[in-house]
Structure 1
Amino acid sequence: MKNFTLTLLALFIFSSITGQTFSTGTITFPSPLSEYSVKIDVTPTLVTLTQIMPSNKWYSLAFNNGGSMDSGDVIAFINSANISDRTLAGLQVPPADAVQSWTTTSNTVVGSTRTVVSTRALNTGEPDDYVFSASAGSINLACSRASSASFSLAPHGGSANAVTTASYAVTLANTEFVLDDFKMFPNPAKASTTIELPSNIDKALVKIYDNLGRVVKNQSITNLDSLVSTSDLTTGSYLVVVRTDYGNATKTLLIE
């Protein structure tokens, strides 16, 4: 009866917290834009865009525009707290959208490198905004940047501004965290167990549930600190849920 209860608990917890995440992974644009990298993560409700770039100039990124910077949805970083949501319209400075759909959650500078993380809904309902899909597929990207240190946004073409464009087609790959992607040992455990994360994941939240559905352990781990103490748990079976930015996985832990 205990095993059946634990199985039902696992199904409930897993269905309530698991959502597929699709990601481009970190993409570095080809030369001469190799100083600029992006990463797009898509869940059923949210798009997260991570941009890594030099800290002294503006950059703009266009979505699904056929490999050019002539038309389509574009965001630009122009040394403000948030990225600017704009629409491409030929060889001119792209005008700002009436509704700014992106929210910047972090903007950090280390040395000469800036990392900006921003989020928005998959479908904003705005006529010029690209609609992201939480499924495997492809997305075409194009990038433009100032050729020298400048935050004055300029048209992307023309020798006067000397900006550079490039396009890159990427596949949104399903990176859902599956059951065998982490190792837990020893199992059965006594005083402690170690949770080994996959090489591409550096942190996670571990929750351990007893067979009544109560959380008996709630701990953050990293690849460098992955030991979970179990000395305070009584003998029996527990459900271990590992939650990451890329999805979740569960396993059963036995305590002797």
Structure 2
Amino acid sequence: MKKKITLLFILIAGFANAQLKSTGNVALGTNMTANMTLNNATSIVTLTLVGPNDRWFAVQFGSFNGGMEAATDVVYWNGTTLVDAVHVGIGAAPTTDSTNNWTLVTNTNNAPATGQRTLVYTRPFSTGDSNDYTFNFADNTLDLALAKHQTASFSMANHGTSSSNRTLALDVSLVLGIDDFSLNASTVYPNPSNGNFTITTKTFLKSVDVYNINGALIKSYKVADSSENIEFNITDLPSGVYLLELKNDTDKTWKKVIIE
């Protein structure tokens, strides 16, 4: 059964041009939540998905009428990675897309404190893949369906009908958000790229340090001005995964980038 959720509209004077819309944290049972935030400035959607460590969990999104419907976009945690897929209907495993268009930001194992895992992934509004839902910032609602396996298993199967495991289909209001002016809200795009990146930030950025995936410092750059869009070139580095440490006098954050 579909459930209508209306979330509080948040708008504070001085932030009338906010570029974020979010579903807020949508819960299934006691140990699974999903949050989708749309950034109109970068045309990037951020998915924060929390679920149990010992079984698969999934979220389907887009525009649909029921639960896990065929031909709808879905992602699920398989114990190793977030799988980009398209649903083929109840009782069958989703079909994996030929290209995974979701980029990992963080993967945090919260056990043993909570027995949960927190995943943060990003994806462009439009990927050009016919299997992928195209997000539209002008939309006021987004349909979500959440599910997880009823027992500890990563084998894709019917997730059961109990209140703690069933598919929960929601018509969720996308709420205009308040702009985040911390360094954590900075974005780096396109990502992946050939080494030419743009860093977009709404606060002063003083320096950028580049590390390899093993944590070794490779380069350090000083930022000359406080422009919101900073062109950043590391085309001289070989293909691979790198970590950028963005810093100013009071704040710092990490961003992962991929050079193809």
Q: Which residue does 1:40 correspond to in 2?
A: 36
1:175 aligned to which of 158, 168, 177: 177
Tell me, yes or no, if the aligned pair for 1:41 and 1:49 is still in contact at 8 Å. Answer: yes
Change (3 A) 1:158 1:168: closer
Write the distance in 1 (CA, Å) between the matches of 2:205 and 2:117: 37
Q: Which residue does 1:56 correspond to in 2?
A: 54
SS in 2 for 1:147: coil
SS in 2 for 1:128: coil
Write the distance in 2 (CA, Å) between the matches of 1:85 and 1:46: 16
Q: Unpaired runs of 5+ in structure 2?
A: 1-16, 182-200, 207-223, 227-246, 253-260
Q: CA deviation at 1:34?
A: 3.4
Change (3 A) 1:96 1:221: same
Normalising by the residue count of structure 2, what TM-score does the alignment of the two structures yield? 0.58
Q: Which residue does 2:131 correspond to in 1?
A: 128
Query: Alignment length, in residue pairs?
Result: 172
Structural RMSD (CA): 3.2
Q: Which residue does 1:76 correspond to in 2?
A: 76
Tell me, yes or no, if the aligned pair for 1:62 and 1:142 is still in contact at 8 Å. Answer: yes
Q: CA deviation at 1:173?
A: 1.1
SS in 1 for 2:46: strand
Tell me, yes or no, if the aligned pair for 1:58 and 1:77 is still in contact at 8 Å. Answer: yes
Q: Which residue does 2:235 correspond to in 1?
A: none
Write the distance in 2 (CA, Å) between the matches of 1:214 and 1:127: 41
Write the distance in 1 (CA, Å) between the matches of 2:100 and 2:79: 16
Tell me, yes or no, if the aligned pair for 1:205 and 1:221 is still in contact at 8 Å. Answer: no
Q: Unpaired runs of 5+ in structure 1?
A: 1-17, 182-203, 223-256
Q: CA deviation at 1:206?
A: 4.7
State the AA in 2 paired with 1:151.
F
Residue 96 (structure 2) pairs with residue 96 (structure 1): yes
Write the distance in 2 (CA, Å) between the matches of 1:208 and 1:94: 42
Normalising by the residue count of structure 1, what TM-score does the alignment of the two structures yield? 0.59
* 4+ aligned runs moved over 6 Å, structure 1: none
Tell me, yes or no, if the aligned pair for 2:74 and 2:84 is still in contact at 8 Å. Answer: yes
Q: Which residue does 2:12 correspond to in 1?
A: none
